[in-house]
Structure 1
Amino acid sequence: MTQTQIVLVPGFWLGAWAWDDVVPHLRDRGHDVLALTLPGLDPANSRRGEVTLDEHAEAILAALDRDAERRVLVVHSGAAVPGTMVLDRAADLVDHVVFVDTAPVRDSFALAPTVQGDEHPLSAAWDEQVESGSLRDLTDDQLTTLRERAVPQPAQTVRGTATLTNPQRLDVPGTVICTSFPSADFLAYAAQGADFLAGLNDHQHLRFVDLPTGHWPMWSRPAQLAELIADAADQGGAGGPG
């Protein structure tokens, strides 16, 4: 069996613990799995206000095992921004990229450039999460855990701008796992120019799969999510919308 490393990067407010229900399923498939806690997302971190988007990209890059036969990068939500930066800096180190309810970004993209201060806490976005339905299918216990374990996101990683210069990133095969809304909507919104999805118009080898649930499938559908990630890691290539 080909030795494949799968690097799991959670979105805003989360650490490696967010993937705890997914990791065993991937390891059962024989993969080497590493879940990351990005800089500033450790609860004890004392320099959260200093952490930059560049540091997040470099932390992901450093986690990729250059000795592995294959490397699969999995990014959830806001982690797509530093994840795309990694593709730009080292396209040859990523054999497949998986976007979990998110998408690659374009050059000069900033997720929320007007965010102020040193930290962006979950509480500042909670009402939006509720209203958007992104918390769909989470149990009361899971919602409690999310609120209790969430760490304020370093604000510079929220308002930071992605600088992308390497067109080779557009050739990295990828899978987009669509959970909050169907793949058809992802593609339609991208075609209409939605900023956060616009990168979908540029990448050449993306496959789309639907996993209907909320924005946090690592908790609401961990086994199914792991299966889709493992399938992406095993098949290596990419097709059209699925």
Structure 2
Amino acid sequence: MTDTTSKPTIILIAGHWLGAWAWEEVREHLIADHVRAYAMTLPGLDANDPERATKTLDDQAAAVLDVITELEGSEAHPVTLVAHSGANAPVSIVLDRHPELIQRVVWVDSGPMATGTIFAPDLPEEVEELPLPSFDALAQQVSLEGLSTEALERFRARAVPEPGPVLRQPVELTNEARHEVPTTLVCCSMPSAQMLELAEADHPMFAEVANLKHLDVIDLPTGHWPMWSRPRELADLIQSAASRTN
């Protein structure tokens, strides 16, 4: 038996409409390499929860902290958080509240959010949830490159509507220590050079990147869902990032 107690603990968190299931292939690769990897479903994205449409970003951040506690994460043994896409909102809150519990954060085609950011500020209050759009509509916003017909069918079949409160709640951040947490950006649908240019130009979506003190940037050219289009390569990058000491 291989001892994994000295290896980093990795928590995988998928973005909008997705649960732990989205990481199945990546997690299989990590576990085969004897990595301690846990995939979680954020509150509001469990299809079996009758109250899921009422969940908030605070609920999601609290759930991430609960998982860290369950996995015995601590200041002495911090964890690595892997946040894909819209998981950046609750993970940004967790980083703000408890940076000492995070050894490294890996943003997968995503990045830290700035305080006051709202994902969908114009979403009407009466909209309880946002279903997965048609793929034609989705492709106008993000890249579907690399996704097979089978992957798209699975996405459609298993996607859970995103709770309205999550999309309307502003991200409130106050702790500058969040900028000290070592960070890896895995750039997929946008080249890293372009992303860094936007960060330097103070683009609202990337402005927080310019504040990070310990930053690695890696290109993994593919679409917005690399856990399906390039799972082996993504698993290797996550493992490498989690193993870094700074």
Please give the range of the TM-score, normalised by the shorter of the 2 chains: over 0.9
Deviations 1:97-126 (A, max 9, x none): 000000101111111111231101112x64
Residue 98 of structure 1 aligns with an amino acid whose one-letter code is V
- Measure how far apart 1:236 and its partner are: 2.9
Counterpart for residue 34 of structure 1: 38
Alignment partner of 1:90 is 2:111: no
Distance of 1:230 and 1:236 partners within structure 2? 12
Alpha-carbon distance change, 133 to 83 in structure 1, aligned in 2, over 3 angstroms: closer
Residue 232 of structure 1 aligns with an amino acid whose one-letter code is A
- In structure 1, list runs of 5 or more residues that go unmatched: 238-242
Alpha-carbon distance change, 67 to 156 in structure 1, aligned in 2, over 3 angstroms: closer
Deviations 1:203-230 (A, max 9, x none): 1111100000000000000000000000
Alpha-carbon distance change, 120 to 133 in structure 1, aligned in 2, over 3 angstroms: closer
Classify the secondary structure of the residue corresponding to 2:80.
strand
Distance of 1:206 and 1:194 partners within structure 2? 18
Distance of 2:89 and 2:197 partners within structure 1? 21
Counterpart for residue 108 of structure 1: 116
Q: Normalised by the size of structure 2, how large is the TM-score?
A: 0.92
Give the count of matched residue pairs: 236
Counterpart for residue 162 of structure 1: 171
Residue 137 of structure 1 aligns with an amino acid whose one-letter code is G
Of stretches 45-54 and 165-174 in structure 1, the one that deviates more from structure 2 is 45-54
2:73–2:79 Cα contact (<8 Å) kept:
no
Alpha-carbon distance change, 97 to 67 in structure 1, aligned in 2, over 3 angstroms: closer
Alignment partner of 1:74 is 2:82: yes
Classify the secondary structure of the residue corresponding to 1:98.
strand
Of stretches 30-39 and 216-225 in structure 1, the one that deviates more from structure 2 is 30-39
Q: Normalised by the size of structure 1, how large is the TM-score?
A: 0.93
Deviations 1:32-80 (A, max 9, x none): 1110111111112211221001101111111113357341000000101
Q: 2:64 aligns with which of 38, 45, 60?
A: 60
- Measure how far apart 1:132 and its partner are: 4.0
Q: 1:4 aligns with which of 2, 5, 8?
A: 8
Deviations 1:167-203 (A, max 9, x none): 1100000100000011001111222232221110111
Q: 1:120 aligns with which of 130, 135, 156?
A: 130
Distance of 2:59 and 2:158 partners within structure 1? 22
